[in-house]
Structure formats: C-alpha cells, structure tokens
Structure 1
C-alpha cells in the first residue's frame, strides 16, 4: 500500500454478505484487538457463525464470544477477517472496527478528523 489512509473515529463501512451488502457507520477503536458486529445485524445479513470462540475483555467484563467471518470495504479497501458477535443493539454503532482490520488496511486513525470524511 502506498500512502496510508487516515480514518476518523467514525467511518462508513460496507459489509458484504451472500449477494447483499449493507452500509453502516462503524466506530473505530484502536484499543479493541478484534472487530465486533452486532449479532442482530450479522443474522440479518446471513453471516455464518463460526464454532470458534474468542475471550474478550470489555467494559462489561470478560466473556466468550462466537466469531463470524466477513468481508468489508472501508475507504475503498476490501478486507476479510473475523468479527466477534456481540449484542450491540443498545450502542450507537452496530460495528466496531478494531486492530485486526486496522492493521490489515495499514490505516492511521486521527481522532481530530471529522466524522465520515
């Protein structure tokens, strides 16, 4: 990758699933090791739940979460990786982009960058 792409704290992400795609606003979180997706959104999109589980530390404590494999596009870069499943319906953003996606895309995060620029 040539020049590195700068992300703000909120970015639009395209999630590809089967023959469909959905655009959602995602929270960019450099402190999260693995990206996360709302279980209801994953179900709606028909993402296949893996038998694999990951232990996750969050504000609500330590828990085991199932994983889904998904292809996304962020700032025109397509990336495939695992997302943990979480009940994010009470949160503003149904998708959280963590280090696994940020590293693959070699993205830089600028918290001063305006939302969805």
Structure 2
C-alpha cells in the first residue's frame, strides 16, 4: 500500500497541528520553570528540606488543589516574600504536605 493511502499515517494538517500544540506546551513549560524553581527554593529555605522534597510538596499541593503546578508555584512566589496569605485551598494543602514532610523527618531521625 502506498504511504499516502495508509490510514494509520496522519495527514499533514493533523501533524502540523500536533507540532504547534507541542511548541505551545514547551513554551509554557519554559515560562513557568523560573516560578517553580523559586517556589522550591522558598520551600527549601523555610522548611529546611532538600530540592526533591520541596518539589514533592509542590506536586502534592497541585494535585490536592486540582491546580496546575505552575499556578501553585506562582501563588507561593507571590505570597511568601511579602507574608501575604495563600489562597485557602493552597494554604490547607500546603500545611498538610509540610506536616507530612516534617513527620517523615521525625520518623527518619527516630530510626
């Protein structure tokens, strides 16, 4: 069967659309990266944890609040330096995750 008749081969318009969507996703990721890194740094300083733990906190808060990771990071970066309260849903999820992180540290020290 010739390639141009193969039903499993995406047509050019579909392929171009997929590529444009991917470009938009990558550009969004690049723009949100600094806020995510800043939020991780703030969490690391305030809660004395490492990079991986801070990132896990961000991910857990994002999932708990059903918000994009970049949105949660932006809220933290905006709020923490000026001691502004976080939105209630993020504040509750953040407190829960920090407590979970601290409880894990206490267990690790006790073992």
TM superposition score normalised by structure 1: 0.23
Greater helix percent: which structure?
A: 2
Higher strand share: 1
TM-score scaled by length of structure 2: 0.24
Flag the structure with larger Rg. Answer: 2
